[in-house]
């Protein structure tokens, strides 16, 4: 539960980040549709909270034994090497 509580400031930062919804809310407010803009903003904040909560629930069991699982580190390293080789070869072939 400590992880969830420590993520709350990041959730507020994420909710206030500029994005497409931010600009839609500003546009609606400038057009005089403040009530609709407020409802849209509340819906987006609730959706962000639900997504963060579901992500926490999904990763809770994964994070308990993360440091003992070397296969995850090996898989991540393998993926980084594959991506690096792909972009390196792509740059050589198409330049």
Ranges of the chain whose pLDDT falls below 70: 1, 14-18, 62-67
Determine the pLDDT at residue 88: 93
Determine the pLDDT at residue 73: 81
Contacts of 44 (CB under 8 A, 6+ apart): 15, 21
In angstroms, rounded to a whole number, what is the distance separating the alpha carbons of residues 59 and 41? Answer: 27
> What confidence tens digit (pLDDT) does each residue in 33-60 have?
889 988 988 888 898 888 888 888 877 7
- pTM recorded for the entire structure: 0.51
């Amino acid at each position: 539960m400590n992880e969830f509580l420590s993520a709350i400031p990041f959730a507020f930062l994420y909710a206030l980040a500029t994005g497409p919804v931010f600009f839609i809310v500003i546009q609606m407010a400038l057009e005089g549709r403040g009530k609709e803009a407020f409802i849209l903003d509340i819906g987006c904040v609730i959706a962000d909270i639900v997504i963060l909560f579901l992500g926490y629930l999904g990763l809770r069991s994964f994070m308990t034994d993360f440091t003992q699982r070397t296969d995850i580190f090996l898989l991540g390293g393998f993926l980084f090497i594959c991506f690096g080789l792909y972009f390196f070869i792509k740059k050589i072939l198409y330049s």
